């Protein structure tokens, strides 16, 4: 079985198919010892090199997706041996590498999904799929109904209008308020920026759902579990 070179590169998580085409056109990609061309197809036994570095390809039909409960203090960046990252606690793969389906900032906890298929990972989190992202947040202060209406109507931030699609108030103390909220925006720190835009600080933030996948109450911080076939099908069945 052969696949297009661009897809094979994307599946490793190295880059998107479009970027892969650019790399091929620039002459930076080799198949075994031959310079690659647009339109090339490769088999499982072929090796891919970009700028002289070999890409590690996942074995066919071995797509894996896992859910990880991220603690605070871990960065969503590739490991470099210096800082603590979300990849440190993940299981080792025989081939390929884990690709994160989106990110959480260093102070946010909760649900992260990882996949060993870069092309599929990009498909799942593509904006066209309109995935819900559900969070629990502790807010300093007591927002009014007028404040909450602004968050649901939409606020212009960094040139984009973003909003919560659902917002439910939970318990309240003398100094803090708890909320459950849903947002479809996947940009960096979108939840915190929305609250900051109306003058409130998020003191604690946890993601509990991404699309149809929920964070299990049994999964402790720093632990992971694999999605089963039914869960993977539920996550991928409506991909664009």
pLDDT, one tens digit per residue, over 145-157 is: 999 999 999 999 8
Q: Which range has highest mean pLDDT (38-47, 215-224, 231-240)?
A: 215-224
Alpha-carbon distance of 183 to 162, in angstroms, equals 8
In the set 88, 105, 132, 158, the catalytic residue is 105
- State residue 21 phi and psi, 5-degree precision: -60, -40
Burial of 148 (0-12, 13-18, 19+ CB in 10 A): middle
Q: Which helix (H) or strand (E) holds 226?
A: strand 224-226
Residue matched to tokens 């602004």: 150
Q: What is the pLDDT of residues 156-210, one digit of tens each?
A: 988 889 999 999 999 999 999 999 999 998 888 999 999 999 999 999 999 999 9
Q: Is the pLDDT of residue 114 over 90?
A: yes
Alpha-carbon distance of 44 to 102, in angstroms, equals 28
Q: Is the pLDDT of residue 7 over 70?
A: yes
Residues 6+ apart with CB under 8 A from 237: none
Known active-site residue 105: yes
**Confidence (pLDDT) at 29:** 93
Among 4-13, 66-75, 80-89, 184-193, where is mean pLDDT lowest?
A: 4-13
Query: Sorting pLDDT into bands at 50, 70 and 90, what band is 238?
Result: low
Instruction: Kindly state the percentage of the chain with pLDDT values over 90.
Output: 59
Burial of 149 (0-12, 13-18, 19+ CB in 10 A): exposed
Query: Sorting pLDDT into bands at 50, 70 and 90, what band is 240?
Result: low
| Contact of 150 with 130, CB cutoff 8 Å | no
CA distances from 233 to 15, 126, 127 (A): 24, 17, 19
| Contact of 8 with 2, CB cutoff 8 Å | no
Q: What is the pLDDT of residues 115-136, one digit of tens each?
A: 988 878 888 888 888 899 999 9
Alpha-carbon distance of 70 to 49, in angstroms, equals 33
Q: What's the mean pLDDT when you consider all of the chain?
A: 89
Alpha-carbon distance of 87 to 136, in angstroms, equals 23
**Confidence (pLDDT) at 136:** 97
Among 45-54, 65-74, 88-97, where is mean pLDDT lowest?
A: 88-97
**Confidence (pLDDT) at 212:** 93
Q: What is the pLDDT of residues 207-231, one digit of tens each?
A: 999 999 999 999 999 999 999 888 9
CB count within 10 Å of CB 39 equals: 9
Alpha-carbon distance of 183 to 167, in angstroms, equals 9
Alpha-carbon distance of 46 to 238, in angstroms, equals 32
**Confidence (pLDDT) at 67:** 96
Burial profile 165-199: b = 16 or more Cβ within 10 angstroms, e = fewer? eebeeeeeeeeebebbbebebeeebbbbbbbeeee
Instruction: Kindly state the percentage of the chain with pLDDT values over 70.
Output: 96
**Confidence (pLDDT) at 133:** 95
Q: Which helix (H) or strand (E) holds 157?
A: strand 155-157
């Amino acid at each position: 079985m052969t696949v297009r070179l661009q897809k094979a590169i994307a599946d490793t998580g190295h880059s998107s198919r479009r970027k892969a085409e650019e790399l091929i056109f620039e002459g930076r990609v080799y198949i075994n010892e031959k310079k690659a061309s647009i339109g090339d197809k490769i088999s499982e036994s072929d090796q891919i090199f970009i700028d002289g570095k070999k890409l590690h390809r996942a074995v066919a039909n071995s797509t894996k997706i896992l859910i990880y409960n991220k603690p605070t203090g871990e960065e969503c960046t590739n490991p470099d041996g210096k800082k603590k990252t979300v990849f440190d606690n993940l299981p080792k793969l025989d081939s390929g590498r884990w690709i994160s389906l989106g990110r959480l900032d260093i102070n946010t906890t909760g649900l992260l999904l990882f996949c060993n298929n870069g092309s599929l990972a990009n498909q799942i989190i593509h904006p066209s799929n309109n995935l819900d992202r559900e969070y629990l947040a502790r807010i300093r202060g007591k927002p009014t109904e007028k404040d909450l209406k602004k968050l649901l109507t939409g606020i212009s931030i960094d040139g984009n209008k973003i909003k919560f699609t659902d917002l439910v108030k939970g318990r309240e103390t003398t100094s803090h308020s708890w909320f459950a909220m849903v947002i479809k925006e996947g940009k960096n720190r979108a939840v915190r920026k929305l609250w900051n835009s109306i003058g409130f600080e998020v003191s604690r933030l946890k993601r509990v759902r991404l699309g149809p996948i929920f964070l299990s109450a049994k999964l402790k911080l720093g632990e992971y579990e694999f999605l089963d076939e039914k869960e993977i099908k539920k996550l991928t069945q409506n991909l664009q």
